[in-house]
Structure 1
Amino acid sequence: MNHIDVRLACEPLEGCVVLELLGREAMDALSSWEVVVTIPGEVDLAALLRAPATLAIIDPAEGSARLVRLLIIEASFDLRHGRDRVCALRLSDPPWLLTQRGGYRVFVEKTTEQIVTEVLTGAGIPATAIEPRLASAYPLRAQCVQYAEAEWAFVERLLADEGISYWFETTPEGEHLIVFGDGTESHDGIEGGVTLPYAGPTGTELSSRALFSLEWEERVVTDRVTVRDFDVRHPGVYVDGHAGEGELGWLEYPAGVTTLEAATARAERRLEQLQRDRVTVTGESDCSRLKPGRIVEIAGAELFEQRMLITEVSHRFARPLPDGGRAVPYGNRITLRPTRSSDSGDLPPYRPALRPAPAVEHLDSAVITGPPGEEIHVDDLGRVKLRFLWDRAGIQDDRSSHWTRCLQLPVGASMFLPRVGWEVTVGYLDGSPDRPFVLGRVYNATAVAPYPLPAASATTSFQSWTTPKSGMTQEIKMVDDAGRQEFFVHASRDFSVKVGGSETIRVDGDEEHFVGLSLTSEVLGSHFAGIAAMQTVDVGQEMLLSVEGSNQELIGGAELVNVTGNRAVLADSACVEVIGAGYTLLCNQSNVHTAGACTRVVLGTTSLTGGLGVTESVAAARTYVCRGSRTITCSGYAESVLGGKRSKVGAVNERAAGNVGVEASSGSITAGTVEIHAGGKVSISAPMVTIDVTGSIEAGTLKLGGGKLTTSGSMTEVSGGTTTRSGGGKVGG
């Protein structure tokens, strides 16, 4: 049988001859080829690096040629064969260049397929070179971060996380193709017919390509998987998914899912991934048509007679050298994945192995973002948007990230929400770069502390800016500098304090209140105000004090009420004034109106002085009880009593500088002793005057006029002076 030949086509290596070939191809991995070639003449190693090359494995017996599109990534040479140079080359697939590109990147609300396509096309791989063969639908990733990892490692990690395999193909035109698949239906059969016979160890002499050896291997693997996650929208219910039964369980947390359906699907894929190596078949052949990602059906071996997926192929080839070096005909060693187990049970689809995700064990800095013009941008859970300092995408608004939770103080329902433009420190939940959370704010040269430092290093401040930005702030500040300690509270507008129980405020120094508008104080219970020194209340306009119950004022010293205008005291019921010492009322005019009874008890002295006049009008009876002396001094005194008047005193002493007149239709004076002293005359005018005395009447001049004078008694004696009677009538009895 004709031997298989290997050739390499590369523009800088024109005319080269392949001497040796070692290659490894596998699903979910970049291929690695080591090729030794001879080159006539000079060679430019720099021109070789990154040069595209096509490896051709030519089988004259089958009339086939397998093409593999590659890229030279390493080259060296020596002069072992005269003038011909020997070059040792290492080649890989064109996406290998993505292993040399890396960094940080944020993807928001995109599927894995969309993210991978964006990364590949961004690296220069045309969209026509990407062929997805996916049977399942995959959910959007709220936030997916490439964190300090190569672009190809990031692509492999995302595909493995979803259970999506990839492999490479080369079209008949020599174009490179990346294929994605998630099931057996995604794979084509090998070219030239899907069946390959098993010939055994002696099959190398057959006229057709075949398998020479086969080995079946089974392993103990995980048989049960549980995935779990936490949904911030439903914190009381875990998002769990289960697959498989058995004692060898595997738990994945966090699973990166938010629904039970997605959790179940992920658990099933995880179980398939963990069981990917449960059954493997290895073999050797001389068939160059075997390549990863293709299906081959084995014939001629009872246990192996089924369709199998080729997962790995290792190639070897050596050309005879002029110096007699040993030739190695082309051959390969393959790894297969059966579709059925040894007990004829169906095996699940082949899945890639999980790739480790970067674990962030440090803090990052980020800037809060939001729509243009907004100063605060949060959702109903108080989450914010971020732009990481390492993010070079240039997105400055709310599209920069998914919603990110903010750490709050553990003091009940606290709420400190960062503002747009703030620089904040960011941690990562479970170390996952996809799950950042804001820890707190940090200052920089643009966003400085509210007070100059280090001068105000002993100041603690909680300050917030009014929004939209107006320059006003609200603040709680504590100054701890010795000798000028201060606790400062500032409200830019309204200030409300609600105390559920008791409140005690103690001020050892001065306290000052300034209210620009009205002040309302409502006390549902008792109100006590104790003032050790003087109290001053200055009311610019009217003052109203309304007391629904009793009102009592106790004054230890003097009381002065100075009213510039009128003063009225209205009592709907009784009015009682009890004065232990003197009582002085001095006013231009005084009106006291009492609808009911009015009682005034003065235990000491009462002085009533009217600068103009004093008028007292009583519609009903008036009783005046004075247990001590009573003095009325006035320029004129008038008293009008419509009904009867009765005065009962121990002694009466009335002195008038002018006339004293008493007019009444009837009346009587009853007293033990009555003395009337007048500087002038005393006149008594009445239709009839009766003076009933047991003693004597003494006067300088006693004039009787009008009617008759009647005396009764045992004796009437007139002595001294002159007795004059004017008018008619008789004297005597």
Structure 2
Amino acid sequence: FNASDLQHQADDYERFDYPGRYKRDEVGIPFTRTRLTALRHDARIAEVEGDDVRLQPGLSFNLVEHPRADLNIHWRVASVRHEGAQFTSLQEEAAGAEQGTRYTQKALLVPGRIEWRPEAPPKPRIDGPHMATVVGPEGEEIFCDEWGRVKVSFPWDRESRDNEYSSCWVRVSQGWAGGGWGAMAIPRIGQDVVIQYVNADPDQPMITGRTYCGNQRPPYELPKHRTRMTIKSKTHKGQGFNELRFEDELGQEEVFIHAQRDLNAKINHDESHTVGNDRTLSTGRDSSTCIARDATLSTGRDRRDHVRQDCFTDIDRNLVHTIGNACSETIGSDHHLSIGRDQTLIIEGTQTLEARTAQRLLTPSYMLQGTERIHIRGPAGKIILDADGITLEAPNIRFKGNVTYHPPVQAQVEAIEAAIREGTPLIEECPFAGEDDA
């Protein structure tokens, strides 16, 4: 290089070594400082050659009477290389044998005022995955820390006791991981796992997979159920399970959900279900539905509700029934109807009321009105009210109490009063005798 080329060189260089041999910055700072010192140990060194056996690595001495005054300082021995030769009796006549036994040494010196550290030796590497078994305390099924890490036991570890002291905490790779969200499935004690090492570092193992083998069998028999995909758990210290299963066999496609205990769903907005064929809902005990606003139920054909005991309906405001055809009610026992105010009953045709035993009507005021005719019939007579007047027809008519009348009915009144005085039946000929009783 010439002078102009050197002007364009960088004046600050760094040595970048990845990965560092630490996990936290507060630990890495002093460690990096030590490595930097080791890298700078050859910034000023001296090489010497001689045969003074007193030179030993780590010892220091003061150099004096050297022609260069700047080298007459305190030096420390960093390394010594020894070389020597001694000929055997068979080699005494060989070339160079006349030199006899010889010894030389080459030493590397550093100034004593400089802190000298050797470079760190290469760290061991582990390439490729290892198999291990998840372990933990006796009596536990799941053993982890706050990060979801677990303990493992390697098959080549002959001193492992298959407990919580068999290894360090080992990280577990999940299918989805984020800050407070993601997927989580903690490997359980006894599961076989696949372990790989981050950057081949033996101090950074990580579980990257899990596998079935030995007594760790798949949830369903294979290859019989090879079309079945499932996420199936196991109850902690129990025999139950939760499961989400997919069946992809042609003609048997199915999505199956099993909750060992409770199933809870929270939907912040809309929910929609579409069923192409039948739908069956079976509840072992109680069922409760709370709807904040309106509810609509539309049935294309028939609907049947069967309540085996009591049925209660509370309506805070109005109830409207619209029936397009006939309505039939059958009540096996009593029927009680309580109305807070008025009742209006409008019938376009004929109303028939039949009481097999008796009918009682109790009210402060009762009005019976027929716009054309009122016909009251009993076992021995009838009363007819129509446009022609009032017709009473019976074998005997008896009056008790005072009778008030208005003219011109003198003859009939006299007969009625006589019957009242004598206590005899009132017998008068009806002018309508012989006509139709209708």
TM-score (structure 1 length as normaliser): 0.50
What's the offset of the Cα at 1:452?
A: 0.2
Shift of 1:420: 0.8
Aligned partners of 2:301, 2:47: CA distance in 1, in Å?
104
2:284 to 516, 519, 522: 516
Does 2:420 correspond to 1:420? no
Find the partner of 1:565 among 316, 333, 336: 333
**AA paired with 2:156?**
W
3-state SS in 1 of match to 2:28: helix
Whether 1:433 and 2:202 are equivalent positions in the alignment is yes
CA distance in 2, matches of 1:292, 1:503: 80
Partner of residue 134, structure 2:
368
Q: Distance in 2 between matches of 1:703 and 1:658?
A: 24
The residue aligned with 1:613 is 358
Q: Go from structure 1 to structure 2 and tell me whether the alpha carbon gap of 1:260 and 1:467 turns closer, same or farther (over 3 Å shift).
A: same
Change (3 A) 1:333 1:416: same
Q: Secondary structure at the match of 1:267?
A: helix
Secondary structure of 1:255's counterpart equals: coil
Which residue number in structure 2 is paired with residue 453 of structure 1?
222
In the other structure, the counterpart of 1:138 is: none
Deviation at 1:311, TM superposition (A): 0.9
Distance of aligned partners of 1:430 and 1:679 in 2 relative to their CA distance in 1, 3 Å threshold: same
Give distance in 1, aligned partners of 2:316 and 2:93: 127
The counterpart of 1:687, out of the listed 379, 384, 403, is 403
Aligned-residue offset at 1:691: 6.1
Q: State the alpha-carbon separation in 2 of the partners of residues 247 and 420 from structure 1.
A: 53
In 2, distance between residues paired with 1:555 and 1:335? Answer: 114
C-alpha contact 2:78 2:110 (8 A) present in aligned 1: no
Specify every segment of 5 or more residues in structure 1 that has no aligned partner in the other structure, as ranges.
1-245, 341-345, 573-595, 625-646, 663-668, 709-717, 721-733
What residue is the counterpart of 2:211 in the other structure?
442
CA displacement 1:600-653 (0-9 Å, x = unmatched) = 22222221110111111123x3455xxxxxxxxxxxxxxxxxxxxxx4633344
Equivalence for 2:231: 462
More strand by share: 1
* 1-structure distance, mates of 2:327, 2:142: 59
Q: 8 Å contact 2:81–2:107 — kept in the other structure?
A: yes
**How many angstroms apart in 2 are the aligned matches of 1:569 and 1:257?**
84
Equivalent positions of 1:76-95 (< 5 A) are none
* Residue of structure 1 in register with 2:114 after alignment: 347
Work out whether 1:409 is the aligned partner of 2:120: no
TM alignment of 1:552-631, pairs within 5 A: 552-572=320-340, 596-619=341-364, 621-623=365-367
Q: In 2 relative to 1, CA 442–260 (structure 1 residues): closer, same or farther, beyond 3 Å? A: closer
**Superposed displacement of residue 464, structure 1:** 0.7
Q: Deviations over 1:451-472 (max 9, x none)?
A: 000010110111111111x221
Residue 675 (structure 1) shift: 5.9
Contact kept in structure 2, 1:426 and 1:437, CA below 8 Å:
yes
Q: Over aligned residue pairs, what C-alpha RMSD do you find?
A: 3.1
Residue 334 in 1 paired to residue 106 in 2? yes
Query: Residue 477 of structure 1: SS of its match in structure 2?
Result: strand
| CA distance, structure 1, for counterparts of residue 120 and residue 260 of structure 2 | 60
Q: Distance in 1 between matches of 2:276 and 2:379?
A: 63
Unaligned runs of at least 5 residues, structure 2: 1-10, 420-428, 432-438
Determine the structure 1 residue equivalent to 2:163: 397
Output one character per residue of 1:301-343: Cα deviation in whole Å (capped at 9) or x when no partner: 2343322224132221223635423144332232223125xxx
> 1:283 is paired with a residue of what secondary structure?
strand
1:534: Cα distance to partner? 2.5
Task: Give the counterpart letter for 1:477 in structure 2.
Answer: R
Task: Say if 1:280 and 1:552 are closer, same or farther in 2 by CA, change over 3 A.
Answer: same
SS at the partner of 1:608?
coil
1:651 maps to a residue whose letter is R
8 Å CA contact 1:657, 1:679 repeated in 2: no
Say if 2:22 is the partner of 1:257: yes
Residue 386 in 1 paired to residue 101 in 2?
A: no
1:437 aligns to what SS in structure 2?
Answer: strand
CA gap 1:332/1:561 in 2 versus in 1, 3 angstroms: farther
Q: TM-score, normalised by structure 2?
A: 0.81
Any idea what the Cα deviations from partners look like across 1:255-306, whole Å, max 9, x if unmatched?
A: 3435544222112111012223323322221223333343344333234332
State the shift of 1:439 in Å: 2.1
1:298 aligns with 2:9: no
Residue 357 of structure 2 corresponds to residue 357 of structure 1: no
In the alignment, residue 110 of structure 2 is paired with which amino acid? Answer: P
Percent of residue pairs bearing the same amino acid type: 20
Q: In the alignment, which residue of structure 2 is the partner of 1:178? A: none
> How many residues of Structure 1 are paired with residues of Structure 2 in the alignment?
399
CA distance in 2, matches of 1:656, 1:416: 86
| 1:312 corresponds to which of 70, 80, 87 | 80
1:485 aligns with 2:253: yes
1:706 counterpart = 2:417: yes
User: Quick one: distance in 2 between partners of 1:255 and 1:303?
Assistant: 38
Q: By how many angstroms is 1:403 displaced?
A: 1.6
Q: Distance in 2 between matches of 1:533 and 1:444?
A: 55
- Structure 1 residues 255 and 517, CA, compared in 2 at 3 Å: closer, same or farther? same
CA contact (8 A) 1:366 1:423 kept: yes
Structure with greater Cα Rg: 1
Residue of structure 1 in register with 2:42 after alignment: 277
Distance 1:661 1:557 in 2: 36
Q: Contact 1:474–1:490 (CA<8 Å) still a contact in 2? A: yes
Q: What is the aligned partner in structure 2 of residue 324 from structure 1?
A: 93
Q: 1:656 to 1:703 in 2, by over 3 A?
A: farther
Q: For 1:371 and 1:267, how far apart are their aligned partners in 2? A: 38
Distance 1:553 1:705 in 2: 53
Letter in 2 for 1:445: G
Q: Measured at CA, do residues 258 and 355 of structure 1 come closer, stay the same or move farther in structure 2, by a change above 3 Å? A: closer
Counterpart of 2:387? 672
- Matched AA of 1:347: I
TM-aligned CA distance change 1:460 to 1:688, over 3 Å: same
Q: How does 1:656-667 map to 2 (within 5 A)?
A: 656-660=378-382
CA distance 1:363–1:256, change in 2 (3 Å): same
> Is the Cα contact below 8 Å between 1:651 and 1:673 reproduced in 2?
no
- C-alpha deviation, 1:443, in angstroms: 0.3
- The whole-number CA distance in structure 2 between the counterparts of 1:691 and 1:683 is 21
> Is the CA contact (8 Å cut-off) linking 2:405 and 2:413 kept in structure 1?
no
Superposition deviation, residue 254 in structure 1: 3.7
Give, in angstroms, the shift of residue 660 of structure 1: 5.0
Matches within 5 A, 1:237-252: 247-252=12-17
Aligned to 2:287, the other structure's residue is in SS state coil
